[in-house]
Amino acid sequence: MSEHFRVHGGARLVGEVDVVGAKNSVLKLMAAALLAEGTTTLTNCPDILDVPLMADALRSLGCEVELEGDVARITTPAELSYHADSEAMGKLRASICVLGPLVGRCKRAVVALPGGDAIGSRPLDMHQSGLEKLGAKTWIEHGCIVAEAEGLHGAQIWLDFPSMGATENILMAAVLANGTTVIDNAAREPEIVDLCLMLTQMGARIEGAGTSTLTVHGVKELQPTEHRVIGDRIVGATWGFAAAMTRGDVRVRGVNPHHLDLVLEKLRMAGAEVTVYEGEDEGFRVVMDGRPKAVDFVTLPYPGFATDNQPFAIALSAVAEGTSMITENLFEARFRFIDEMIRLGADARTDGHHAVIRGVEQLSSAPVWASDIRAGAGLVLAGLCADGATEVYEIFHIERGYPGFVENLRKLGADVERVSS
Ligand code: UD1
C-alpha cells in the first residue's frame, strides 16, 4: 500500500510557518563529524528520512549515532572503516559527501556511487580531479568510487564550475592535508559557509568562506564540536512561492532572509509585498493581493536563483498574468516536471535550456507524479491553484526534503490530505 496527497485547490494560505535545518547542510555536517575523534553534536536537524539514513551510513563506518528530536550526536572512533559501500550508503543520494572526510582521515575510501537521480546526470569528475590534485589516486570499481593516497598535500585547484559537492569534498579532504590548498571558483552557497563555520569550530583554518576562493591551511587534527544547522532556504522559498501563488499572507521563520534575497526580489517583481526580518533566523513575510505577474527566472549557482527553486518558479509562472521565460543551467532533466504541469493545464513549452510559460487564470486538477523532492513540492503548489482535487503520487520524494509538509500546509489553511492508495 502506498500513500499520496490529495490537494483541493482554492484556499488562500495564511499564517506562520517554521523552517528547520537545511537538508543540504545537515548531511554534509554529519559527514564532517568523521573528521574528529569524539562526540560532535548537531542541533536544528530536520526530521527527514535522509538523516536516519546518514546515521546508518555513519554507523557502518564505526561511529555511534544517537538521534533525539532535532539533535544528532555522532561519536567517531579513533579507527574508522573506510568502506562506505554498505546498503545504507547505497540508499543515500548524498553518500558521496563522505568521500572527502574519509580520504582526509583514513587516506583511503571506497564509496558507493550515488543512485541515479531524476534531475539529470551527476558526474563526479571535479570531485576526482580535486582529490587527485591533493595527492590521491581515484578510480571507479564495482559501482564504487575508490580513492587512495600516501599522504595529502596542499594544492592549487581550479574548479570548472562552482559545484557544491566537489567544493565540499575537496574542502573536507584539504583541512587535514599537509600545507595550503586554494580552491578557486568554489561554490558560495550558504550551506558551504555553514560547513566552513563548523570545520573552523573544529580547529580547521579556512579563509574566504562565502567567496569564490577558499584557502585552507591544513592542520594535524580536528576536535569535535557542537553546531546548529542553518535554516533551509529552499523550504523557506517553497513557502514564499506558495503564499504568492495562493494570493496569501505567510510569515516564514527559522531562515536567514538574506539567503533568499533574489527569491524575495522575484516575488516582489511578481507583485508581492515582502517584509524581511533582520537576524539569523527571523525570516520574512509574503503578502499577495491579486494575480501574480509573470517574471523571468534563470538558475545559477548562489547567489543566483537556485535550481532547486525552479519548479516553484514554473508553478508560479503557470498561474501568472503574462508570459515567463525560465532558463535552467544546472540540471537539464529538471524540465521533466513541465510534463506534469501540462497535465494540470499549464500552457508551457520547452526548448533545450529554456521553457516558455504563458500563465492561465486557473489550473485544472489531475493525477500527477512527483519525480524528485522539489518537483513534488512544486506539484502540490500547483494543486493549490487548480480547481477540484489534484492527486500527487510518489510523495516519498517530497518527504525526503520537507518535514511535516502536510501538517504545515493544513496549518496555513490548505485543504490537503494524505490518502492510502
Ligand atoms: C547540490 C544539492 C542540490 C542542488 C545542487 C546545485 C545536495 C545534497 N544537493 O547537489 O540540491 O540542486 O547542489 O545547487 O546538497 N558537476 C560536474 N562534475 C562534478 C560535479 C558537478 O559536471 O564533478 C555539475 C553537475 O552536473 C551540475 C553542476 O555541476 O550541472 C552543479 O552540481 P553540484 O553543485 O555539484 O550539485 P550537487 O552537489 O550534486
Q: Which residue in the block uniquely carries the three cell numbers 545537515?
A: 26
Residue 114 DSSP class: P
- Integer Cα distance of 31 and 360 in angstroms: 45
At 255-277, the pLDDT tens digits run 999 999 999 999 999 999 999 99
- Integer Cα distance of 23 and 310 in angstroms: 17
- Integer Cα distance of 332 and 353 in angstroms: 7
Q: From ligand 1's centre to the CA of 252, what distance in Å?
A: 27
Q: Is 26 exposed, middle or buried (0-12, 13-18, 19+ CB in 10 A)?
A: buried
* Residues 6+ positions from 419 with CB-CB distance below 8 Å: 3, 4, 5, 6, 391
- Integer Cα distance of 198 and 158 in angstroms: 24
In the chain the first and final C-alpha atoms are separated, in Å, by 6
User: According to the model, what pLDDT value does residue 95 have?
Assistant: 86
Q: What is the Rg, in whole angstroms, of the alpha carbon atoms belonging to the chain?
A: 21
- Integer Cα distance of 154 and 219 in angstroms: 11
**Among the atoms of ligand 1, which is closest to the Cα of residue 97?**
8
**46-72 average pLDDT score:** 95
User: According to the model, what pLDDT value does residue 407 have?
Assistant: 96
Homologous superfamily in CATH for domain 23-222: Enolpyruvate transferase domain (3.65.10.10)
- Integer Cα distance of 44 and 194 in angstroms: 13
- Integer Cα distance of 405 and 294 in angstroms: 27
**Among the atoms of ligand 1, which is closest to the Cα of residue 122?**
26
* Residues 6+ positions from 393 with CB-CB distance below 8 Å: 2, 4, 367, 368, 369, 370, 421
Topology adopted by domain 3-20+231-420 = UDP-n-acetylglucosamine1-carboxyvinyl-transferase; Chain (3.65.10)
Q: Is 212 exposed, middle or buried (0-12, 13-18, 19+ CB in 10 A)?
A: middle
* Residues 6+ positions from 336 with CB-CB distance below 8 Å: 118, 371, 375
Q: Is 255 helix (H, G, I), strand (E, B) or coil?
A: strand
Q: Is 261 annotated as a binding residue?
A: no
- Integer Cα distance of 104 and 153 in angstroms: 10
- Integer Cα distance of 191 and 377 in angstroms: 21
**Among the atoms of ligand 1, which is closest to the Cα of residue 161?**
29
Beta strands 14-18; 249-253: pairing state: parallel
Domains 3-20+231-420 and 23-222 share a fold: yes
Q: Is 93 annotated as a binding residue?
A: yes
| Nearest Cα to Cα of residue 350 among 326, 383, 378, 382 | 326
At 178-204, the pLDDT tens digits run 999 999 999 999 999 999 999 999 999
**130-137 average pLDDT score:** 97
For the chain, give the mean pLDDT: 95
C-alpha cell at 171: 574542502
**Among the atoms of ligand 1, which is closest to the Cα of residue 129?**
23
At 392-413, the pLDDT tens digits run 999 999 988 899 999 999 999 9
Q: Is the pTM of this model over 0.85?
A: yes
User: According to the model, what pLDDT value does residue 99 have?
Assistant: 96
Do the Cβ atoms of 295 and 324 come closer than 8 Å?
yes
- Give one DSSP letter per residue of 395-411, joined into a string: THHHHTT-TTHHHHHHH
Which amino acid does the sequence have at 294? A
Q: Is 24 annotated as a binding residue?
A: yes
CA distances, 93 to each of 66, 87, 97, 326, 418 (Å): 21, 12, 9, 26, 25
pLDDT surpasses 80 at 129: yes
Q: Whose CA is nearest to atom 38 of ligand 1?
A: 165
- Give one DSSP letter per residue of 373-389, joined into a string: HHHHHHHHHHHHTEESE
Q: Which residue in the block uniquely carries the three cell numbers 533545450?
A: 352
Testing ligand 1's pocket by substitution, the residue of 161, 191, 305, 371 carrying the most ligand atoms inside 8 A of its CB is 161
Q: Is 133 annotated as a binding residue?
A: no
Assign 111 a pLDDT band (cuts: 50, 70, 90): very high
pLDDT surpasses 70 at 165: yes
Q: From ligand 1's centre to the CA of 219, what distance in Å?
A: 28
- Integer Cα distance of 321 and 309 in angstroms: 20
**Which helix H or strand E contains 206, and what residues bound it?**
strand 205-207
Testing ligand 1's pocket by substitution, the residue of 25, 30, 51, 122 carrying the most ligand atoms inside 8 A of its CB is 122
pLDDT surpasses 90 at 122: no
Q: From ligand 1's centre to the CA of 337, what distance in Å?
A: 18
Sequence ranges of the domains in the chain: 3-20+231-420, 23-222
- Identify the active-site residue in 18, 56, 70, 117: 117
* Residues 6+ positions from 293 with CB-CB distance below 8 Å: 269, 270, 271, 320, 321, 322
117 flagged as catalytic? yes
Q: Whose CA is nearest to atom 2 of ligand 1?
A: 24
CA distances, 298 to each of 184, 211, 330 (Å): 23, 21, 10
Q: Is 23 exposed, middle or buried (0-12, 13-18, 19+ CB in 10 A)?
A: buried
How many residues make up the chain in this entry? Answer: 421
Q: Lowest-confidence range among 19-23, 59-63, 120-124? A: 120-124
**Ligand 1, pocket residues at CB < 6 Å:** 24, 94, 122-127, 161, 163-166, 306-308, 330-331
